Amino acid sequence: MENSKVDVLVIGAGPSGLMLCTWLARLGIKTRLIDKRHNRTNSSQADGLQSRTFEILDSLGVGQDIWREANHMLEIRFWNPDENSQLYRSDMIVDTMPGISRFQQATLYQGRIEDYLLKYIGQHSDIAIEYGKMPELLNIDTKNVESDAEYPVSVTVRQLSPEGSEIPNGSKINGSHVSNGMFRSNLTADTTDSMLAVAKANDATETEVIHAKYVVGCDGAHSWVRRQIGCVMEGEHTDFIWGVLDIIPITDFPDIRYRCAIHSASGSMMVIPRENRYVRLYIQVSEIAEDGQPLDRSKINEETLLRVAQKILAPYKITYKHCHWWTAYRIGQRVGSRFSAHDRVFLAGDAVHTHSPKAGQGMNISMQDTFNLGWKLAHVIKGLSSRSLLTTYTSERRQIAQELINFDHRFSRLFSGRPSKDVLDREGIDLKTFKDVFDKGNLFASGIAVDYASSLIVAKDTESEADALIYQQNYDAPFLGKPAEGIPCGLTSKQHLARRIPVGMRIPSYKVLNQSDARPWHLQELLPANGTWRIIVFAGNLLETTQRERYEDLAKGLESATSFLQKYTPKSTAADSVFEILTVHSAPRARLELLSLPAVFHPFSEEYGWDYSKVFVDDASYHEGHSQAYENYGIDRSRGCLVVIRPDQYVSWIGELEDLPDLERFFGAFMKIQS
């Protein structure tokens, strides 16, 4: 039996697993990625991309390519029955709230998104998907979980034969192969154990023991890793069954290229336009078959789903000649009782939270889970941070999963209920209530509303503390227990200095100009995902003598041999490899010279000269107007402030230019002194 060692073993090569490997590849972490399938399946699965996910992808350098290829959704249209039960267009609203992001909601086949991530991984590492490998035993050496040098998690992996790793996922329609996702559906049994039993009976299959510092289970709703660490899914299933069809529709329905929420006397349906003429239909399936008998769920197929869609959409007609993929599922909202074991084995994505897919959250939340985890693992493995940093994964992402479940609980029941006939029909769904919840949920669904509570790496003030129960209160959903509490950092931010940069949320983006060449940049574009912390010095008006003195005093503190900048940056690496200092001042650009500023804000290199990419100004551009960044961020143009941004673009702390001692305390709580 072969034995090997690796820093991180990722189990499952779906969106969450690939996002994690993207981070780890970028940060140079030795990683292996295994998947029980014998190859990638040509199936649609998820396809919705929300605003925050696009921001994340853009920070990795792949967002613009995906944005260009995706189908953009700009408007939602509502269809409801009138007093005669005839379907009519009742309303239309904007799909993504204007101004919240540079990106709006869009759709693209999951396989193409994975293509871009795999290309990125290949450009930055030798990580490749190891297909046909199934884990069969996981062991944690609890005596060594706190040792940085050990590999305390061992996973026995079995190489499946091509036949053993084949997952049935298709059928024939008019002679063409049509993929389906029923093997992933909660309407079908998990095949993991049976596949493993067949493999064990085959003496020719090989096994390997992989010794890892960390293991991350990204292995979906039927997660094997989840079972090994004793994580229990808490929540509930419903009796609502929904089907999904990806087709090129032939129809006279006038809004087929808009996102539509349709309630009719025959049921409910959502229309999601996609790329290349495809449309995804989410279709409510009745528990009662056409003959009046209970529905045999095993007989649900693409033809069944089309017939139901035709009834819902009547009198409009719909059919197809091209079907790319279909599936069916039972709505349920559940979240894992734990997200990790000893902060050595972690769960992410569908492995630890499940919900209905109609709000377009599954792939987004899954990738955001591992975008949160990836940089933390890398910093600990590299010896930059203590293992206490890893506790924040559970405290932050379980909170978000709980909010997602609570939102989806309300949303899916409203969508699945029949429309009320009149004000006296208490069992029916009030369509105004549905629209209000739909509208409110859009901000949450966009991912922009994620608000992490106080922790080791989030220093809120008392008034801005995140309320993890907000969706329970707003959407009247059951509560499954408080999110895990993190280790507080013992500091508070001065939120009033930047009123519109909420601590615990991702930093909004407005344009600023490069001091050296007047080129405008969105602030988020200055924060690529490379693993570094950013200290943004909103320096105020540097033409004012007092403000210039404050800025120069800050420079002296940063240059001190005892500053966090010097203590926590390895001597063998670039000065900005762990912390990058960016300046955004408010003085007129033409009246300030870059080289007049302290060198720590535009470092000098013997090989490359001065760094011209660190100092920016909130001023009018030649071609794109004035973004008024200071005003939009709620920052005083004279005094400015300091803002600390995590490697994942979330805001950790806000303070005065004189508050360097607090900044030292903040980083001292979890960073390791470097030699």
Return the closest-CA partner of residue 95 out of 360, 280, 295. 360
- The residues, ordered by sequence, that sit 6+ positions from 37 with a Cβ below 8 Å of its Cβ are 13, 131, 132, 165, 167
The string of DSSP letters for 178-215 reads: EEE-TTTSTTS---HHHHHHHHHH-TT--EEEEEEEEE
Tokens for 639?
Answer: 């005094």
Instruction: For residue 26, indicate whether it is catalytic.
Output: no
The string of DSSP letters for 327-355 reads: EEEEEEEEEES-SEETTTEEE-GGGTEE-
Q: Report the C-alpha gap between 184 and 198 in whole angstroms.
A: 20
Helices (H), 530-598: 545-559, 564-567
Q: Report the C-alpha gap between 78 and 568 in whole angstroms.
A: 54
Helix (H) or strand (E) holding 172: strand 170-173
What is the distance of C-alpha 186 from the center of its chain?
23
- The residues, ordered by sequence, that sit 6+ positions from 479 with a Cβ below 8 Å of its Cβ are 402, 406, 469, 472
Three-state SS at 439: helix
Q: Report the C-alpha gap between 270 and 611 in whole angstroms.
A: 51
Considering the candidates 15, 35, 37, 47, report the single residue annotated as catalytic: 47
Considering the candidates 26, 52, 259, 274, report the single residue annotated as catalytic: 274
Contact 287, 295 (CB under 8 A): yes
CB atoms inside a 10 Å sphere around CB 295: 15
Return the closest-CA partner of residue 651 out of 450, 479, 515. 450
Report angle CA 660, 661, 667 to the nearest 5 degrees.
Answer: 90
Return the closest-CA partner of residue 635 out of 547, 515, 533. 547
Considering the candidates 116, 131, 214, 282, report the single residue annotated as catalytic: 282
Considering the candidates 249, 357, 483, 520, report the single residue annotated as catalytic: 357
Instruction: For residue 47, indicate whether it is catalytic.
Output: yes
Three-state SS at 609: strand
CB atoms inside a 10 Å sphere around CB 383: 11
Instruction: For residue 297, indicate whether it is catalytic.
Output: no
Residues with active-site annotation: 47, 274, 282, 357
